[in-house]
Structure 1
Amino acid sequence: MTKKHKTIIAGTLLLVLLLLAVYIFKNNYQKENGASIRIATPTLFVHGWGSSYHAEESMVAYAQKSHATNSVIRADVSPAGKVTLLGTIKKRAKNPIVEVNLQNNKSIFAGLSNQTSAMNKSSNYIKDVIIALQKRYRFNRINLVGHSMGNLQIAYYLHNNATNAHMPHLNKQVSIAGHYNGYIGEVGAPKTTVLNHAGKPQKMSAGYRALLNLRKKFPQKAAVLNIYGDMGSGSDGDVTVNSARSYRYLVSKRARSYQEKEIRGPRAQHSKLHENTQVDRLLVNFLW
């Protein structure tokens, strides 16, 4: 064997060993940081204004009893956006759920001079939770479930991150009692929402207008379930049926699928919708 051949072989072996060392180092680093744990599509539950993760517990408990999931953790979010994950998602966990708990649960106040700016800032809490999950787990898609204000935070998150390649793809979204075109008594919002045949509001709140680009940005592979309540008055007591249904105009043109479900009767009251077995059943059947 010539000296030249020996040099080539030695160089090749050195390169292989170097690549192997890099692979082992990277693999160990990911394991230490948890990022190497690949999990099934996680589902985030986001509560409403002035609320907490307790508002999500009934829906999550139903999912557990239905054997739709066997893994639930909580994400506590500080007012500054620092996320603390409580619990661990195991590698082979079935449909893991993340209960989001916002310490700053009143980040949007009625009558703010610039509610759109405040909502954009508030929606960063959703992004903060997702980034915290990404540091520990590997996943490509995500499901998002919101109640009341949580829906606006989700909608603004989607609006602001639709083209962000670092964020996971939206798989499914469930909206419960979303006040997209304002809630009853909201300053600056239309007193009544009249929709045309496409679901477009005749009069729009400033917050709704700020979301109009969702018509061009909403993820095309995502499925949407929009649940709202009607106690017999055309509203759930806080959100009119048409304000909730106005989400259709923003997303249905691009979404993989879009469907609406109306809940009726006294259990259709705004704060009771997340404690409603009919809602639980719809949610579980849609997500999993």
Structure 2
Amino acid sequence: MKKKWLIGLGSILGVLLLITMLCHTFKKTSPQPDEEVSSTYKKKTPFAAVPTIYLHGYGAGARSTAGMIAYAQQHNGAHKVLTARISASGKVDLRGSWPHATKRPLIQVILQDNKNSNYYTTREWFYNLILLLKQKYHIKYYNTVAHSMGNIMTLAYQLKYGKDSNLPRLKKQVNLGTPFNGIIGIDEEPNHNYLLKNGRPKYMTQSYKYFLMHRHSFPNNVSILNIFGNKEDGTNSDDDVSCVSAQSLRYLLRGKGKYHEIEIKGANGQHSKLHENYKVDRIIGQFLWSK
């Protein structure tokens, strides 16, 4: 009897020893709670600084926004962190390094299919970019600086995705020489259109009518800077975009936020010279980063 009792006790002690060894092994190989929280925190910490995204216009490329970016780096304490190349199929290739501590990060966008003016297509390209920046850097807000067609691309995006709470939100928008309501020689002739007393353009293109129809989707509380050129050669335009076409943005985005409008007169107000103008660069810097 005593022998059976001893054998039973030995069996129990053996089981307890095995359980102790297994618990020790599990504790040693399993991550500790603090380690799990720390790892998750590092992966999901958003980049606190608001990136500014630069977009070129029709038929242009890196050179179109390079001067503005260089000025911002030299005079506004900003730093270019990424180049985003977008293919004709909408695939986004991000290259560069974005240190977490960068205070004023800049992102330059280059479109491979730079003559695609179909904003139903290009807005999806911009969506792909914003979604990737959210997934990779967890950004919450962003600014845009765009010339001509680049603004039509971003405007079309805002009119579809601007109030999507699952996506980063637009904070500040800079528009340069943008044909919101037509292009001279294609949609209108010089001095043909004009603004009514309420700011509404007398004549509206099909695109502008579409924008008006979807204006409710544009996010609220956005700071908007609209810069346009007037060569003062009698056409009241920058060669390609009439002042009225550019100024049609005010009526389109009325009530959406703080709206600022600046006219650049003379030779430097020519369409392509708007993004090669130190005065414009200075104005953009003050708008984006001045306290």
Q: TM-score, normalised by structure 2?
A: 0.82
Name the structure 2 match of 1:161. Answer: 161
* Residue 138 of structure 1, CA deviation: 2.1
Structure 1: runs of 5 or more not aligned: 1-13, 109-117
| Partners of 2:61 and 2:114 within 8 A in 1 | yes
Q: In the alignment, does 2:56 pair up with 1:47?
A: yes
Q: In the alignment, does 2:216 pair up with 1:223?
A: no
SS in structure 1 of the partner of residue 64 of structure 2: helix
Name the structure 1 match of 2:143. Answer: 143
For the aligned residue pairs, the C-alpha RMSD in angstroms reads 2.0
Question: CA 1:163–1:88 in structure 2 vs 1: closer, same or farther (change >3 Å)?
Answer: same
Mapped to 1, the partners of 2:207 and 2:274 lie a distance apart of 23
Q: In the alignment, does 2:251 pair up with 1:237?
A: no
SS in structure 1 of the partner of residue 202 of structure 2: coil
Whichever structure has more helix as a proportion of its residues is 2
Letter of the structure 2 residue corresponding to residue 246 of structure 1? S
| Partners of 2:122 and 2:153 within 8 A in 1 | yes
TM-superposition CA deviations, 1:104-129 (whole Å, max 9, x none): 10112xxxxxxxxx311111121111
* Residue 18 of structure 1, CA deviation: 8.6
Matches within 5 A, 1:202-281: 202-232=202-232, 233-255=235-257, 257-281=258-282
* Residue 285 of structure 1, CA deviation: 0.4
Whichever of the two has the greater Rg, that structure is 2
TM-superposition CA deviations, 1:182-224 (whole Å, max 9, x none): 11112xx343321112321111101111111454232221100
**Deviant stretches of 4+, over 4 Å:** 17-22
Q: In the alignment, does 2:287 pair up with 1:286?
A: yes
SS in structure 2 of the partner of residue 84 of structure 1: strand
Structure 2: runs of 5 or more not aligned: 1-26
SS in structure 2 of the partner of residue 199 of structure 1: coil
* Residue 139 of structure 1, CA deviation: 1.9
Letter of the structure 1 residue corresponding to residue 158 of structure 2? L
Matches within 5 A, 1:1-288: 23=37, 26-27=40-41, 30=43, 36=45, 38-108=47-117, 118-186=118-186, 189-191=187-189, 192-232=192-232, 233-255=235-257, 257-288=258-289
Mapped to 2, the partners of 1:51 and 1:175 lie a distance apart of 16
SS in structure 2 of the partner of residue 171 of structure 1: strand
More divergent stretch after superposition (131-140 vs 201-210): 131-140
| Partners of 2:180 and 2:248 within 8 A in 1 | yes
| Partners of 2:46 and 2:140 within 8 A in 1 | no
More divergent stretch after superposition (222-231 vs 197-206): 197-206
SS in structure 2 of the partner of residue 79 of structure 1: coil
* Residue 20 of structure 1, CA deviation: 5.5
Mapped to 2, the partners of 1:72 and 1:272 lie a distance apart of 25
Sequence identity, in percent?
Answer: 34
* Residue 228 of structure 1, CA deviation: 0.2
| Partners of 2:161 and 2:217 within 8 A in 1 | no
| Partners of 1:182 and 1:239 within 8 A in 2 | yes
TM-superposition CA deviations, 1:7-43 (whole Å, max 9, x none): xxxxxxx9xx896676356446x3xxxx545240001
Q: TM-score, normalised by structure 1?
A: 0.83
| Partners of 1:231 and 1:237 within 8 A in 2 | yes
Mapped to 1, the partners of 2:159 and 2:151 lie a distance apart of 12
| Partners of 1:190 and 1:204 within 8 A in 2 | no
Mapped to 2, the partners of 1:199 and 1:72 lie a distance apart of 39
Mapped to 2, the partners of 1:237 and 1:73 lie a distance apart of 32
How many residues are treated as equivalent by the alignment? 256
Letter of the structure 2 residue corresponding to residue 269 of structure 1? Q
Letter of the structure 2 residue corresponding to residue 180 of structure 1? F
TM-superposition CA deviations, 1:202-254 (whole Å, max 9, x none): 11101111111454232221100000000013000000000000000111322
Mapped to 1, the partners of 2:275 and 2:95 lie a distance apart of 22
SS in structure 2 of the partner of residue 280 of structure 1: helix
Mapped to 1, the partners of 2:177 and 2:92 lie a distance apart of 26
Mapped to 1, the partners of 2:101 and 2:140 lie a distance apart of 15
